[in-house]
A and B are shown apart, each in its own frame.
Chain A
Amino acid sequence: MIKELKSPLRVVLENYGRINPESIEEYITQDGYEAVRKVLREMRPKQVLSEIKTSGLQGRGGAAFPTGLKWEFTAKVKDIPKYIICNADEGEPGTFKDRAILEGDPHKIIEGMIIAGYAVGANYGYIYIRGEYLLSINRFNKALKQAREHRFLGEDVLGSGFNFQIEIHQGAGSYVCGEETALMESLEGKRGNPRFKPPFPSSSGLWGKPTIINNVETLANIAPIILKGADWFRTFGTKECPGTKVYTISGQVKETGLIEAPMGITLREIIIDHAQGMRDSKFKMAQVGGAVGAILGEDMLDVPLDYHSLREKGLVLGSGAILVMDETTCALDMLKCFLKFFKRESCGKCIPCRVGTKKLLELATAISQGKGKEDDIDLILYTAKVMQKTSLCALGQSLILPISTILKYFRKEITEHIKGRCPTGVCKI
């Protein structure tokens, strides 16, 4: 089990570590499947949509799109069949929250998917779990079997006349498949190449049919919202970003693990109160939101970590991954590491990303070996900007953020390498 650092609040993780995740009976004793019962017996689909919309829940995969609105789009489309997809292809470096939820409370996701299906008129759901998450796949399989036995899944769920099935799709190792249209291609048995948008999945998704695709953590919020109400949900977090967020902390801090906190907790609070401070050396920077996330320096320690506050500063919260780095870390070495990741994971469909990721890594590597030229740093920035404007999907478009923010803080340190010196002594020049 993943270590949970004293969470100030538990909505998504309410059962995490407290019940046996392989026992549906234990889940039921914690009001499990009560939300499904309530929805099927007392609410019309429109009321469910309205409750989720009022809650202000935003997609927890990183894009923060309002969940209620997404559901409404699909509900309004006349075309059938419709599909629900749970995106459990968690591949963002530093992120392990979806794994924790799947391993610790799989029934909560099943419940969220059933409710989504009822709300938009879909009778079939897929959960796309990355191939490396074998325990998650195993637990989810068991949970599905139990849910079918208890008639929460299948024909005529709880005698309501509503049918809903869920099937697992196991990923085969690809970061870009976390992108929603790439994931659908992959679910269709093809290469995980992203599609052009529009059309958007809400009207034309899996096999060209209306599809809702939600992240694991988003779906884990659904049952609590239905049971306790949108107003209750809005008492947590900020006005613009209600609810909680599961943050995952890794890197050079004393305690790594995950916490659930109200939206808007600061980096300083996370590092000092929850991760018990830095491990060996002083704080240098943190990357927030995974490999595509921004680098935050000391001046950002008190910025609220919610979608809205970060967006106002041109940053992103993304998946909520927090990678903390201390003074022994070389900024250029880390940049090279991010770039290597992107080069490996670029799907190769569009040229800006395919060629760009390779060029960026070559430039950064040359600088780290003392073979860089003065204007190479500007060339890196320019290349990333071109990629932002011309790439097909978020992978190529997002590189600009880690690059521009790391340069904002550490341009001087990186330039030192061109002069033949790595200030931290990490790069061998």
Chain B
Amino acid sequence: MKLRNKEKDVIALLRKSQSVSKHNYITEDELKFIAQEAGVSYSEVYGVATFYSLFSLKPRGEYVIRVCESGPCHLMGAKSIFKVLEKELKIKVGETTVDDKFTLEEVSCLGICNEAPAMMINEKVYGNLTPQKIREILRELRKKK
């Protein structure tokens, strides 16, 4: 019976590679290595890596801020959430702060619609966001070394 081989599964390998990267991304060398490990072509690995939104081929900040911009969050004020974050971090969506601390991303539904507007920072979920709440969250994260 054919079963998924975690050692050769491109998605699992990409996740592993990104999780150990300090800058939350996958390098070109890693892509080549994964292609060898999985026994598939480099282009296939590149195709997979660029398909899924949780993977990045560009260095990102220590904290990746992923703000939901789908219907429920949009309706409950996601726009103002972006505005506050852009102003506080002095970056636009898709960019990383100069100190490599934060990256701001716009994402599809995170499934936290009952607490819209919502976002995730790395693995943590934040809901019912307000400008003040965001400033507090950033202040806490900035304190961490």
Interface residues of A, dominant DSSP = loop
How many A-B residue pairs have C-beta atoms within 8 angstroms? Tell me.
138
Decide: A130 and B111 in contact? CB cutoff 8 A.
yes
A124-B3, A189-B48, A250-B113 are known contacts; what are 7 more A-B pairs with Cβ within 8 Å?
Answer: A94-B71, A132-B54, A133-B111, A172-B14, A256-B114, A341-B69, A347-B51
| A258 contacts chain B at the CB level, 8 A cutoff | yes
- Indicate whether A3 reaches chain B with its CB closer than 8 angstroms: yes
Asked whether any CB of chain B lies closer than 8 Å to the CB of A134, the reply is yes
Smallest CB gap from B3: residue in A: A124
Give residues of chain A (314-356) contacting chain B, Cβ–Cβ below 8 Å: 321, 323, 325, 329, 334, 337-338, 340-341, 344-345, 347
Stretch at the interface among B4-12, B95-103, B132-140: B4-12
Q: Is B74 touching A126 in the complex (CB atoms < 8 A)?
A: no
Q: Does A189 contact B10, Cβ atoms closer than 8 Å?
A: yes
Decide: A329 and B113 in contact? CB cutoff 8 A.
no
B80 within 8 A of A: no
Interface string of B1-32 (1 = CB under 8 A from A): 11110001111101100000000000000000
B114-A250 in contact (CB<8A)? yes
What 0/1 pattern do residues 39 to 55 of A give for CB contact below 8 A with B?
00000000000000000
| Contact A341/B2 with A132-B111, A134-B123 known, Cβ cut-off 8 Å | no
Task: Tell me the minimal C-beta distance from A239 to chain B in angstroms.
Answer: 31
**Residue B121 lies at the interface, judged by CB distance under 8 Å to chain A:** no
Q: How far is the CA of A188 from the CA of B2 in the complex (A)?
A: 10
Chain B interfacial positions (CB closer than 8 Å to A):
1-4, 8-12, 14-15, 38, 44, 47-48, 51-55, 69-72, 74-76, 107-116, 120, 123
Q: A169 on the interface (CB 8 Å rule)?
A: yes
CB distance from A303 to the nearest CB of B (A): 20
**B53 in contact with A250 (CB, 8 Å):** no
Q: List chain B residues, Cβ under 8 A from A132.
A: 54, 110-111, 120
The listed residue (B1, B15, B71, B109) touching A124 by CB distance below 8 A is: B1
Is B74 in contact with A334, judged by CB distance below 8 angstroms? Answer: yes
A-B pairs with beta carbons under 8 Å apart, 15 shown: A3-B114, A91-B109, A92-B109, A134-B123, A169-B4, A172-B55, A173-B54, A173-B107, A174-B52, A190-B48, A209-B2, A334-B74, A334-B75, A337-B71, A337-B74
A331 to B3 alpha-carbon distance, docked (Å): 47
Answer whether A123 and B111 are a contact pair too, CB < 8 Å, given A251-B72, A323-B75, A334-B71: no
Within 8 A of B (CB), among A221-274: 248-252, 256-258
Among B44, B47, B51, residue most surrounded by chain A Cβ atoms (within 10 Å):
B51
A175 within 8 A of B: yes
B9 to chain A, nearest CB (A): 4
A134 to B124, CA, bound (A): 9
A95 touches B113 (CB 8 A): yes
Q: Are A96 and B113 in contact (CB under 8 A)?
A: yes
A260 to B88, CA, bound (A): 41
Taken together as a complex, chains A and B put the C-alpha atoms of A132 and B126 apart, in Å, by: 13
Interface mask (A121-158 → B, CB under 8 Å = 1, otherwise 0): 00110100011111000000000000000000000000
A93 at the interface (CB under 8 A from B): yes
Q: How far is the CB of A223 from chain B (nearest CB, A)?
A: 24
Using A172-B15, A258-B114 as known contacts, say yes or no to A94 and B109 having CB atoms under 8 A apart.
yes
A401 to B122, CA, bound (A): 35
Supposing A95-B111, A99-B111, A130-B111 touch, asked if A250 and B116 sit within 8 A by C-beta, the answer is yes
Chain B residues whose C-beta falls within 8 Å of the C-beta of A96 in the assembled complex: 111-114
Question: Is B72's CB under 8 angstroms from A94's CB?
Answer: yes
- Chain A CB count within 10 A is highest, among B12, B76, B109, B112, for B109
| Residue contact A172 to B2, C-beta cutoff 8 Å | no
Whether A93 lies near B108 (C-beta < 8 A) is yes
Please, how many angstroms separate the alpha-carbon atoms of A340 and B70 in the complex?
A: 8
Instruction: Please judge, given known A-B contacts A94-B72, A172-B15, A337-B74, whether A189 and B114 are in contact too, CB under 8 Å.
Output: no
Which residues of B have CB within 8 Å of A124? 1, 3
Q: Do A126 and B4 touch across chains, with their CB atoms under 8 A apart?
A: yes
Q: CB-CB < 8 A to B1: which residues of A? A: 80-81, 123-124
Question: A175-B108, A186-B11, A191-B48 in contact; A248/B114 too (CB < 8 A)?
Answer: yes
Q: Mark A163-207, 1 if CB is under 8 A from B, else 0.
A: 000010111111100000000001111111000000000000001
CB distance from B52 to the nearest CB of A (A): 4
* Closest CB in chain A relative to B118 CB, distance in Å: 10
Known: A96-B113, A130-B111, A133-B111. A189 touches B2 (CB 8 A): no
CB < 8 Å neighbour of A287 from B15, B71, B109, B116: B71
Q: How far is the CA of A81 from the CA of B11 in the complex (A)?
A: 23
Query: Could you tell me the distance in whole angstroms from the C-beta of B51 to the nearest C-beta in chain A?
Result: 4
* Contact of A90 with B111 at beta-carbon distance under 8 Å, contacts A173-B54, A191-B48, A207-B2 already known: yes
CB distance from A153 to the nearest CB of B (A): 15
User: CB-nearest residue of chain A relative to B2?
Assistant: A207
